[in-house]
A = this chain, B = another copy of it.
Amino acid sequence: MSKLRVAVIGARGRIGSEAVRAVSEAEDLELVAAIGRGDKLETLVEAGAQVAVELTDPGAVMGNLDFLVRHGIHGVVGTTGWTEERLAQLRTWLAAAPEVGVLIAPNFSIGAVLTMRFAQQAARFFESVEVIELHHPNKADAPSGTATRTAQLIAAARAEAGCAPQPDATVSALDGARGADVDGVPVHSVRLRGLLAHQEVLLGDTGETLTIRHDSTHHSSFMPGILLAARRVPSAPGLTFGLEHFLDLD
């Protein structure tokens, strides 16, 4: 079987260089180009790339995608900064190239995506739900973006199912003890030397609790998701937003 021909754009960044290595080591993929700032996009065409992994920055991503779509190269995009305008523009380009697929993923960690998905599915069956996220102490924001997003998804699922508010008889509390309130879901942020990025969703009902925990212990955790996306995107024409749509969860 011939290997899928994959290029990496942004190959000299921290995630990009990991992606170069991960593609090279995958038995069913062939790394045909690895370009960075200042390199020419034409290299991808000359190298016969079928899929390009785009890991650059908001200033570069639109130009790169315009090129990829025009040349029939599928895209797997980790670059952030997406707005409705940008997505609309991308959709216009893709409409003119109906065979090309582009996946944009805010998070390529399969574990993080599954945690959010499972939390969302389980949320309506339990009286109580709280989120604890734990990170290294150099992190600037609390809660983490992932935890906030997870809590929002949980709250939306509960609202849709008509769940009652969570039980909480607290009458006397120190400031902050009960965490941050994200749409009615308490979120607690721990900052601890020795940790990287971790998240725990706790769900409880009469006589039982369910805990879904994701531990990210190295930034290479994005690689399995990037490879999975590269393999899947050629058969997913048009725009897909979110890795969960490639996980066949339903």
Contact = CB atoms under 8 A, between A and B. Distances in A.
Interface of A: 109-112, 114-115, 118, 121-122, 125-128, 130, 132, 134, 137-143, 148, 166-182, 186-196, 202-224, 228, 247, 249-250
Contact of A218 (B167, B173, B206, B216): B206
B214 A208 contact: yes
Contacts of A216: 207-208
Given A118-B121, A125-B224, A168-B191, 11 more contacts: A128-B137, A137-B166, A143-B174, A143-B177, A177-B188, A188-B188, A195-B204, A205-B221, A206-B220, A207-B218, A249-B250
A211 to B, nearest CB: 4
Top 5 nearest A-B pairs (CB, nearest first) are A207-B221, A194-B204, A207-B218, A250-B250, A192-B204
**This chain: how many copies in the complex?**
4
Contacts of A250: 249-250
A215 B219 contact: no
Contact of A140 (B143, B171, B193, B202): B171
Contacts of A140: 169-172
Given A125-B110, A172-B141, A208-B109, A188 B192 contact: no
Given A212-B211, A249-B250, A114 B122 contact: yes
A205 B177 contact: no
A247 B132 CA distance: 25
B170 A142 contact: yes
A182 B190 contact: no
A177 B172 contact: no
Contact of A128 (B193, B214, B219): B193
Contacts of A221: 194, 205-208
